[in-house]
Structure formats: C-alpha cells, structure tokens
Amino acid sequence: MRELTTEIEIDAPAARVWQLLVGFEDYPGWNPFITSVAGEAREGESLRARVGGLPFRPVVLKVEPERELRWLGRLVLPGVFDGEHRFEIDPLGDSRVRFRQSERFTGVLVPLFWLFMRGATGRGFEAMNAALKRAAETKAAG
C-alpha cells in the first residue's frame, strides 16, 4: 500500500467548499486535475470521471456533507490497481477550512507505477487544491 496526501487552508465556509466539491458539472470550469465527473455524490453511485485525459469509474463509498467525500477507483479488476480517494473538509472556524485530499493505492501494479504516481498525481492534487481555494475564496468574497 502507498498513500499520497496534500492539504491546503481555504478562507471560505465549509458549505461553500463542499458545494464546489460535489458540483461535478462545474469541474471543467475550475478543476485542472479531475476534469470531468458525471453522476451524483451518493453512496453506492458509480461515477464516470476523467483524470488527465484517462477515464475511470469510481464508486462512491462515503458522503458526509461539508466533511468528507470518498470513492474507490479500480483498474480492470480488484487487486490490480485500486485507489481509494478521500476529500476531507475540516472547519477551522466559521469561514475557514483545511481541505485534505488523499489517496491510498493498493494492488499488484502499484509498486511498478509508484514513482510516476507520486510525482504526477501529487502535482495534480496540489493543482486541484489551489484551484479549489481560488474558486471558493472568489465565490466567498463575491
């Protein structure tokens, strides 16, 4: 198992950050990493998503409004290359949150791709975090 984690503080209420996070239809306008998601943020829902041009079909594992969204994506079959992605919102006050994005990778192919994943995926997480911060803070101020 390997894991990536990034976080950023955002000057916006948890409700605003959550709205952006689950507003999948708006991803193409602000999210440089996960460029599209079709479906609903509902436990058990199978989504259609695109990351870096690559399609995948994660299944939503957990939805806790204004706190956590988690899904599981798989490459081909369980145990080959699985990624459990977690988005967490930790309130730091009425108008400030810590946004944490992490993914736990498991499966037989993970060691082969880890160096690439750690670099490219880590940069993607950071880019998404920064874009979410910009979008939430712009909307919060407006």
Q: How far apart are CA 86 and CA 2, in angstroms?
A: 14
Report the DSSP beta bridge partners of residue 134.
none
- Answer for the pair 36, 50: CB distance below 8 angstroms, yes or no: yes
Mean pLDDT for the stretch of residues 64-88: 93
Model confidence pLDDT, tens digit, residues 7-20: 999 999 999 999 99
What domains can you pick out in the chain, each with its CATH number?
2-141 (3.30.530.20)
Coil, helix or strand at residue 1: coil
CA-to-CA distance for 50 and 32, rounded, in angstroms?
11
Measured distance between the N- and C-terminal CA atoms of the chain, rounded to whole angstroms: 42
Decide: residue 96, CB within 10 A, 0-12 exposed, 13-18 middle, 19+ buried. Answer: middle
Q: Detail the DSSP E strand segments found in the chain.
A: 2-10, 34-38, 48-51, 54-56, 59-64, 68-74, 82-93, 96-106
User: pLDDT tens for residues 43-65?
Assistant: 999 999 999 888 999 999 999 99
Mean of pLDDT values over 65-81:
91
**142 vs 131: CA distance, rounded Å:** 16
pLDDT classification of 75: cutoffs 50, 70, 90? confident
> Residue 131's closest CA among 2, 6, 38?
6
Share of the chain above pLDDT 90, in %: 81
Confidence grade of residue 115 (pLDDT, cut at 50, 70, 90): confident
